Amino acid sequence: MTEALCILLLQVGSINGRYLLVQQPQLIARDIYKSFRMGARRIEVLRGISMDVAHNETVFLSGASGAGKTTLLYTLAGLERPESGTVKFEGRQLYSGRSAAEARLRNKKMGFVFQGYFLLAELTALENVLLPAMIGHCTARAGAEESLAAVGLADRIHHLPAELSGGEQQRVAIARALTNDPDIIFADEPTGNLDSKTGNTIMDLLLNLARDRNKTLLVVTHDARLATRGDRQLHIKDGILQ
Ligand SMILES: Nc1ncnc2c1ncn2[C@@H]1O[C@H](COP(=O)(O)OP(=O)(O)O)[C@@H](O)[C@H]1O
Ligand SMILES: [Mg+2]
């Protein structure tokens, strides 16, 4: 994050006449409601979710399958418009209707590791990692190669996803989330499709990258053991945070 942006995020408050610098949370969600219509039925997935995430914080979100974890993560990342409620990221309101500006904000400031890797099968590891940079009109081949090296895949950059193991595909997905050097990384069940040993290694990688590069990390997992490794744990049940 640039210094100017940091300063913008600092708010001056006064207690007993003394001025203090108070940093706003990076992500602020208030009263989020979201439901889906399935034929005649309406499923209420998020029923009034409010949460804050601080800069550089690592937060784990758990909950049963179908509890709304992915829906919440998408909503926080500007990918799923809530029916009501607000999401503010680094002082800017998401879903304000200025979709081009929001897409730019997402592209530059947010990295997303999607559930089930979500790699494009026709593209090599390197091309998959370059994709967010191409969308953002940046030339970033060196950065993409550096990201792939950081996840331990320097010698696999020209492989297609089908030529990579599950753990390696997840590493590519993590490297792609690092493209454009975002401030926050959202990861949706990054260990979900992996055996426990590979899953542990991937979680170590994600936590170390976030710590070393000063990134906020919001991870969905249903592995209670892994969820203890962050700064804070949230649990979603019946559409609300417990
Ligand atoms: N686009 C959609 N259309 C209809 N129902 C959806 C859609 N996305 C999610 N759902 C439903 O919302 C609920 C929560 O889904 P999801 O957020 O994916 O849960 P989780 O990630 O916790 O497993 C599920 O019942 C799911 O079927
Ligand atoms: Mg999910």
What are the residue boundaries of the structural domains of the chain, listed by start?
55-84+96-241
How many CB atoms are located within 10 Å of the residue 170 CB? Answer: 28
What is the 8-class DSSP label of residue 66?
Answer: T
What residues have CB less than 8 Å from 51, skipping those under 6 apart? 27, 29, 234, 241
Task: Determine the residue of 33, 34, 38, 43 to mutate for testing ligand 1's pocket, defined as the one with the most ligand atoms within 8 A of the Cβ atom.
Answer: 43
Q: Read off the pLDDT of residues 51-109 as tens digits, 9 standing for 90 and up.
A: 999 999 999 999 999 999 999 999 999 999 999 999 999 999 999 887 788 888 888 89
Task: Answer yes or no: is the C-beta of 182 below 6 A from any ligand 1 atom.
Answer: no
pLDDT of residue 8: 41
Read off the amino acid at residue 108. K
CA–centroid distance, residue 115 to ligand 2 (Å): 7
| β-strands 84-89, 110-113 pairing | unpaired
Ligand 1 binding pocket mutation candidate from 70, 71, 72, 79 (most atoms within 8 A of CB): 71
Residue 207 has pLDDT above 70, yes or no: yes
For residues 157 and 124, is the Cβ–Cβ distance under 8 A?
yes
| Nearest bound ligand to the CA of residue 49 | 1
| Domain 55-84+96-241 classification at class level | alpha beta
- As a whole number, mean pLDDT of residues 163-185 equals 94
In the three-class reduction of DSSP (H, G, I as helix; E, B as strand; rest coil), residue 128 is classed as helix
For the cut 80, the answer to whether the pLDDT of residue 140 exceeds it is no
8 A C-beta contact, residue 109 and residue 182 = yes
103 lines ligand 1 (CB under 6 A): no
